[in-house]
């Protein structure tokens, strides 16, 4: 059986995917077959909700957007923390670091990208570690470029929860990525909604970015950023692409957005994983027409990072528990020693926001709970 529904081929290459030896045309296939989509779902699903692994210090603090990586025999997580001084008064996002021995029990280490007294990003500095090993069976380590570790971040000067115009900034460090210290940032953002090449779908505000390195033939540049944005205050969010030759200077991929849903308000927070020749994008949807869950995690697949086949079956993660009965969204998915871990932002009906994980095997349950 041809799992890729290929057209006639003249030259082929072989690869191992999901335990099958399959033949690929040298030219990338744009559509992913239903068989491969189903097999991907079976590979990545995590039906066992372990529960919260990081909880906020109080009801007004919010934790969000995990990125998990491995260094020196331990696991680390960068995550976004909203300070939440009161229910209506907070500065904005900072980036913090946590540590784990087993991916289930986490210790908070401290901030690595903190508020500033002034500047374009004084009040919003919510980051996502860049250039991690995104292979499904990879080592999960971040890689240096030009002698630095890198992260991209939401940046803005307006205080409040995702308030004002948000841009995308860049920070870097020559120290180890698993140590608590302040990362170096720059005097201006790398992408804004007011850039000359900004398109209508993104000309209001920008959100999460995910940066990784790809073969140059895909885009003509080695560094690719997936990011989500919206075009007006009430408009829907979509996912697009920017590319760079040097991490510092970025240009939009003109055929963006590459994933959106006309029936829904939000499509966002892409994480890319590579399984053999197949790329998998984990993302979240919110406020979609006809869906009861307000925010939920899904996936799409591609052979070239440009053309995506969307999964039409069940959500990967959806609200179901007291700690995530409002939102269960913003994925970070990894595979380690035969277990799939799906980290996500869990929000309950009291708007308490922490970080939870679900797994492909029953790992028991977490003792952490929100304060009620």
Distances (CA, A) of 328 to 192, 270, 298, 342: 28, 15, 11, 11
Distance CA 309, CA 324 (A): 28
pLDDT score, position 15: 45
Chain CA centroid to CA 261, Å? 18
Distance CA 284, CA 291 (A): 13
Nearest to 77 by CA among 299, 360, 354, 369: 354
Nearest to 298 by CA among 366, 344, 357: 344
Distance CA 27, CA 42 (A): 27
Could you report the per-residue pLDDT of 239-296, keeping only the tens digit for each? 999 999 999 999 999 999 999 998 889 999 999 999 999 999 999 999 998 775 689 9
Distances (CA, A) of 247 to 148, 165, 175: 11, 22, 18
Judged by DSSP in three states, 34 sits in helix
pLDDT score, position 3: 33
- Does the structure show a pLDDT above 80 at 9? no
Could you report the per-residue pLDDT of 252-265, keeping only the tens digit for each? 999 999 999 988 89
Could you report the per-residue pLDDT of 15-30, keeping only the tens digit for each? 445 444 343 433 446 8
**Are the C-beta atoms of residues 348 and 364 closer than 8 Å to each other?**
no
Fold that domain 31-359 belongs to in CATH: Tachylectin-2; Chain A (2.115.10)
Could you report the per-residue pLDDT of 36-66, keeping only the tens digit for each? 999 999 999 999 999 999 999 888 899 999 9
From the number of C-beta atoms within 10 Å of its C-beta (0-12, 13-18, 19+), residue 123 rates as buried
- Evaluate the CA torsion angle 228, 294, 105, 272 in order and state its sign: negative
- pTM for the whole structure: 0.91
């Amino acid at each position: 059986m041809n799992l890729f529904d290929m057209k006639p081929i003249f030259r082929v290459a072989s690869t191992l995917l999901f335990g099958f030896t399959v033949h690929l045309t040298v030219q990338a296939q744009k559509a992913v077959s239903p068989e491969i989509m189903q097999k991907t779902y079976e590979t990545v699903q995590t039906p066992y909700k372990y529960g919260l692994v990081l909880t906020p210090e109080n009801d007004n603090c919010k934790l969000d957007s995990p990125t998990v990586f491995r260094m020196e025999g331990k696991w680390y997580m960068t995550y976004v923390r909203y300070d939440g001084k009161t229910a209506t008064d907070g500065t904005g996002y900072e980036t913090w670091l946590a540590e784990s021995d087993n991916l289930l029990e986490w210790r908070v280490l401290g901030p690595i990208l903190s508020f500033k007294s002034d500047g374009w990003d004084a009040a919003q500095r919510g980051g996502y570690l860049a250039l991690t090993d995104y292979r499904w069976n990879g080592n999960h380590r971040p890689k240096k470029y030009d002698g630095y570790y890198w992260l991209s971040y939401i940046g803005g000067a307006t205080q409040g929860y995702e308030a004002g115009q948000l841009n995308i900034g860049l920070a870097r460090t020559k120290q180890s990525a698993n140590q608590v210290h302040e990362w170096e940032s720059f005097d201006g953002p790398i992408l804004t909604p007011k850039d000359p090449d900004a398109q209508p779908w993104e000309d209001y505000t920008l959100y999460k970015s995910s940066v990784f390195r790809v073969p140059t033939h895909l885009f003509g540049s080695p560094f690719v950023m997936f990011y989500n944005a919206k075009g007006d205050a009430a408009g829907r969010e979509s996912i697009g692409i920017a590319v760079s030759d040097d991490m510092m200077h970025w240009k939009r991929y003109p055929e963006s957005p590459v994933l959106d849903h006309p029936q829904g308000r939000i499509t966002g927070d892409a994480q890319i994983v590579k399984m053999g020749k197949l790329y998998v994008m984990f993302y979240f949807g919110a406020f979609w027409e006809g869906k009861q869950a307000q925010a939920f995690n899904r996936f799409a697949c591609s052979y070239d990072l440009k053309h995506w086949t969307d999964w039409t079956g069940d959500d990967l993660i959806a609200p179901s528990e007291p700690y995530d009965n409002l939102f269960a969204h913003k994925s970070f998915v990894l595979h380690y020693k035969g277990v799939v871990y799906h980290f996500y932002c869990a929000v309950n009906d009291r708007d308490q926001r922490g970080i939870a994980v679900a797994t492909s095997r029953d790992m028991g349950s977490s003792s952490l709970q929100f304060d009620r």
